[in-house]
DNA sequence: TACACTGTTCGAGAAACGACGAACAGGCGG
DNA sequence: CCGCCTGTTCGTCGTTTCTCGAACAGTGTA
């Protein structure tokens, strides 16, 4: 056995994810874009290759693994493709408000809040 | 001039901090411990050297810079020491709930929530 | 002035991270 | 059965991050 082409992805439930792991998973621009894109879709509707991120499929696969092990996403094989789902409810129960924060694209630019003084 | 010993620390207001920067700053065990230790103290009461973290003062200084530039802490010189403060209100206004999450030590261990099934 | 104390900066090394191309494996359609 | 498409794994490379020791500078005290 050299290359195990199709193995069942090993998931981690958000319940078993330390906070640091969740933060580290979300503290990356590519993964952040993935999570946001996923949040705007129906569940199980976005295939791995369909994400609009500027990296090759190898790096993509790596990022999926990170997000999976951080309890952020869930994956399922559907024919030749692998489809994705944001673990919104489970993740929210474990880390309330974190996904809400992350899904606001206006937090990328500085000074977006109505500043005073 | 070779080594500028005491310069005014350059702060960044949370308002000007991108989300990624905030997440990356908090996604480190040492800095997380610092933030938590700081949260349990009066403001301006903890000096840089008084933090209970297992790294030397050089690394410590580096972590302080990261936290400062992420808008998490504020520093002020008080005599020969540099004292610290958590920017709780400003940071909360920019990233509501993030500090709340981070300050819960029970999120470090997995499975702390009442698990089912 | 001289000295102890505090914290920053530099330089270097180790480790972790992210990216790619290539090779591989499963599903599906010819 | 043979390709085509999809996605994972491997090996490698380059960058970033974390850490330390050493040198330096400011404050306060003897």
The backbone region for A78, taken as left when phi is positive above 0, alpha when psi lies in -120 to 50, beta otherwise, is: beta
Please tell me the predicted confidence (pLDDT) of residue A59. Answer: 98
Cβ of B98 within 8 Å of Cβ of A101? The answer is yes
Nucleotides on chain C that have an atom closer than 7 A to a protein CB are 4-11, 17-28
Tens of pLDDT along chain B (117 residues) come to 445 557 889 999 999 999 999 999 999 999 999 999 999 999 999 999 999 999 999 999 999 999 999 999 999 999 999 999 999 999 999 999 999 999 987 766 776 444 443
User: Which of chain B's residues have a Cβ under 8 Å away from the Cβ of A93?
Assistant: 113
Whether residue A100 is predicted with pLDDT greater than 80 in this model: the reply is yes
Q: Write down the pTM of the prediction.
A: 0.91
C-alpha–C-alpha distance, residues B95 and B20, integer Å: 11
- Identify, with chain letter, the residue nearest to nucleotide C26 (CA–C1'): A6
CA distance B6 to A62: 43
Question: Which residues are B82's β-sheet partners?
Answer: B77
Instruction: Evaluate if residue A30 carries a pLDDT over 60.
Output: yes
Per residue in A53-89, pLDDT (tens digit) is 999 999 999 999 999 999 999 999 999 999 999 999 9
Torsional class of A71: left (φ above 0), alpha (ψ -120 to 50), beta (otherwise): left
Model pLDDT, residue A21: 98
SS (H, E, C) chain B: CCCCCCCCCCCCCHHHCCHHHHHHHHCCHHHHHHHHHHHCCCCCCEEHHHCCCCCCHHHHHHHHHHHHHCCCEEEEEECCEEEEEECHHHHHHHCCCHHHHHCCHHHCCCCCCCCCC
């Amino acid at each position: 056995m050299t290359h195990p082409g199709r193995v069942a992805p090993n998931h981690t439930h958000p319940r078993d994810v330390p906070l640091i792991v969740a933060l580290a998973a979300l503290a990356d621009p590519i993964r952040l874009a993935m999570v946001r894109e996923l949040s705007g879709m129906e569940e199980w509707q976005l295939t791995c290759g369909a994400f609009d991120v500027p990296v090759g499929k190898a790096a993509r696969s790596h990022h999926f693994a990170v997000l999976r092990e951080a309890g952020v996403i869930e994956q399922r094989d559907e024919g030749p493709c692998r489809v994705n789902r944001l673990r919104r409810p489970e993740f929210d129960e474990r880390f309330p408000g974190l996904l809400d924060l992350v899904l606001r694209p206006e937090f990328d630019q500085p000074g977006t809040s109505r500043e005073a003084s």
